[in-house]
Amino acid sequence: MSPDDIQSIFFQECEEGLASAETALLAIKAGEHDGETINTIFRAVHSIKGGAGAFGFHPLQSFTHLFETLLDKVRDGELSLDPPLVELLMGAFDVLADHVTAIRGEGEQPDDAVMKRALRDALSAAPASAPGLASQELGLSFDIDAMMAELTVRSDIPAQDWRVTFMPAAGDLAHGGEPLLLLRELAALGGQVVSADPDRVPTLDAFDPDAAYMGWTLRLPATAERATIEEVFDFVSDPGSVTIERTQFDDAMRSAREVILQSRPVAPLATPAAEPPVAQAPLAAKQPKVAVGATIRVDLDKLDRLVDLVGELVITQSMLSQRLASNGLAAVEELADLDQLTRELQDSAMAIRAQPVKSVFSRVPRIVRELEASTGKRVQIEVEGEATELDKTVIERIGEPLTHLVRNCVDHGIELPAQRLAKGKPAEGLLRLSAEHKGSRIVISVSDDGAGIDRERVLAIATDRGIVAADARLSDEEIEQLIFAPGFSTAREVSNISGRGVGMDVVRQNVQALGGRITIQSRPGEGSSFALALPLTLAIVDGMVVSVGDQTYIIPLTHIVESLRPDRDQVQSTGLGNRVLNVRGAFLPVLGIGDQLGLTGAVSEPSEAVLIVVETESAGSAILMVDAIIDQRQVVIKSLETHYQQVEGVAGATILGDGRVALILDVEGLVDLRAPVPLRCAS
């Protein structure tokens, strides 16, 4: 474990600390807090301060020191948590977060002068205002190098030197204290015991083995610094038991009474309690070494490698069983076990990569707070299911879309307090984040109780921008979908909130790139809800194995609605080789995968083929025509882009049990390849 590794762990801890401090701050703001809440913030700031000092981030250390001192006063009840103080804590938190960003090298060092002054002002309002602020900060910059340099000096002792007397208080042997160790430390500084003073030692019947009776006088070389000697007595309970003074030993005394202490304790007489039985701990030493922590941190690359290898194992296992089956050995019992184990191994490996969505959700409060400040709106955040876990890669990549949705809800959805009150709603808008498992997907939703989507305006803009024809008749859902159209933006002017150069179309692209889908539900005057349905992992996919011509393809199950074998007369031609099938009243285009991908030898007559009804995010429903369905299974996704290049209509590749490579179809892209888009069809 290198210093850099420890530092990167420290960065992670900073982020975790910030997240829990933020949650606590919000609870305080909402008036839902107890003593532990402020303690949580204190602990987080305290830990960051400790690490900041250890890793030499001095501006952060100095800032956290002030922040911590203030929190300490709040904790002790010397300062009361009134709204201005809560605001100050929030502000200080933001500066702290900026500091952390800065030490990670991801941002500028914040200018914290104003905030520091505000913190000091608040501190001076406390009854017993911290007198030792400056000295404490000085205390942190102890010069260890100078001290260590001193340790090496112990040669000729000049006439002028230190005389140290040490008469331990009776209680100095309590709690594991051991004065002899101090003598040893002084010896290392070149000290010599000049005299031992047994005057206080009582008679045996009055002797308390737990009390200290002996006293010593020592001589130390003048080269030792007073501070260094004082440091040795740092743990001594009564400063009065130690005297340190410059003195002149006479030569006679020097020659007569020199006793050099080596690293071994002296005078058993003086140390009746010097070796408490506990300290020897022979039993403890035989115990196996156990770390108490229940978690470990692993480099993500190693995990990715593990997941990769497990993927390979799954493929190999599947090839093996296929090979055995073709040799009539399918019923081998061990094979079933192996199959089961491989599956479990794969699930476990995936579970290791899973992370709670909390890490993404926890960014939201800060974003909302910024928005509140810049828009004048007031927003309360409600979070549900933040412990729901999904793959780390997915977590990493939903941050941006989620942020955008949140901005969108606050910016366009939630109304200004006055408007809300006029509509009979509470002044404070509600933003709700939730995450839950639904089958093999996780659904994350962002909803607000704002104005809802203004359909008339959406339609007007879409018509204006030529996204839909002027005479198009669209359903409410279709109109709402328009906000995802490229080039669509409803902001009257480009606000710097939602209008950060990305529209909802980019949000949808991002979600689709993750194999996810986004849906909207909106009610005018009541609010909108955006739901992201995401795969639990990007490494495997449930797919239907189909054959087209001499090729094998995988269609991700998430897109598949049903499969059909139509009669000849059910499929109708619309000219130019386009065909549609009436599926319960809706006419869906029939797409031959062979035609789409330029393949020959595929079945071209729908009545002889298998039709698979798929639904897509951007292009509505359609029917894919394949020759036959072979199997349904989980496949390990291999990126085509890393090994070859991106191919339209293809999302990736996998290796099948028989060793052949099969392409995984990008249903979204495939359906989108054909024109016209369904909305215009529908009109």
Partner 1 sequence: MPKRILAVDDSLSMRMLLRASLTSAGYDVAEAEDGRAALEWLENNEPTLVITDINMPRLDGFGLIAELRAQERFRDMPILVLTTESSPEKKARARDAGATGWIVKPFDPEKLTVAVRRVMH
What is the DSSP secondary structure assignment for residue 638, as one 8-state letter? B
List alpha helices for 475-514, DSSP H: 476-481, 504-513
3-state secondary structure 321-388: HHHHHHCCCCCCHHHHHHHHHHHHHHHHHHHHHEEECHHHHCCHHHHHHHHHHHHCCCEEEEEECCCC
Query: From the CB of 50, what's the least distance to partner 1, in Å?
Result: 5
Q: Six-digit token pair at 564?
A: 């059909």
Question: Which residue lies nearer to partner 1 by CB, 148 or 494?
Answer: 148
Of residues 19, 22, 33, 65, which one binds partner 1 by CB under 8 A?
65
- Contact region for partner 1 (CB under 8 A) — 2-10, 378-386, 425-433, 652-660? 2-10
Cβ–Cβ under 8 Å, residues 50 and 143: no
As a whole number of angstroms, the distance between CA 556 and CA 537 comes to: 13
Report the distance separating Cα 611 and Cα 393, nearest Å.
Answer: 34
Select the span of 100-108, 191-199, 284-292, 668-676 touching partner 1 (CB under 8 A). Answer: 284-292
- In the complex, minimum distance from the CB of residue 153 to partner 1, in angstroms, rounded to a whole number: 16
Write down the least CB distance from residue 132 to partner 1, Å: 5
3-state secondary structure of 499: coil
Candidates 134, 144, 204, 387: give the one binding partner 1 (CB under 8 A).
144
Query: Phi/psi of residue 78, each to 5°?
Result: -75, -25
Q: What φ, ψ does residue 451 adopt, rounded to 5°?
A: -80, -15
Strand partners, 340: none
Least distance to partner 1 from the beta carbon of 528, Å?
Answer: 39
**Site track for partner 1 across 145-184, x = CB under 8 A:** --xx-------------------------xxxxx--xx-x
Pick from 193, 194, 218, 232: which binds partner 1 (CB under 8 A)? 232
Closest CA to 448 of 387, 526, 386: 526
Of 51, 190, 452, 589, the one binding partner 1 (CB under 8 A) is: 51
CB of 406 to partner 1, least distance (A): 29
Q: Return the SS3 of 536.
A: coil
Nearer to partner 1, 5 or 337 (CB): 5
- Separation of alpha carbons 671 and 683, rounded Å: 18
Token pair 């005018």 is found at 524
Binding to partner 1 in span 78-137, by CB under 8 A? 132, 135-136
CB of 1 to partner 1, least distance (A): 6
Q: Among the candidate windows 34-42, 323-331, 338-346, 357-365, which touches partner 1 by CB under 8 A?
A: 34-42
CB of 387 to partner 1, least distance (A): 18
**Only segment of 291-299, 425-433, 441-449, 652-660 that touches partner 1 (CB under 8 A):** 291-299
Site for partner 1 in 240-279 (CB under 8 A): 265, 275-276, 278-279
Write the single-letter amino acid at 231.
E
Nearer Cβ to partner 1 (200/297): 297
Q: Which is nearer to partner 1, 137 or 372 (CB)?
A: 137
| Gyration radius of the chain over CA positions | 37
Site size with partner 1, rule: CB under 8 A: 60
> What is the DSSP secondary-structure string of 2-61?
-HHHHHHHHHHHHHHHHHHHHHHHHHHHTT---HHHHHHHHHHHHHHHHHHHHTT-HHHH
* Single residue of 46, 377, 404, 412 touching partner 1 by CB under 8 A: 46
Per CB under 8 A, residues contacting partner 1 are: 1, 5-7, 9-10, 13, 39-40, 42-43, 46-47, 49-51, 53-54, 61, 65, 68, 132, 135-136, 139-140, 142, 144, 147-148, 174-178, 181-182, 184-185, 232, 234-235, 237, 265, 275-276, 278-279, 281, 283-287, 289-293, 297
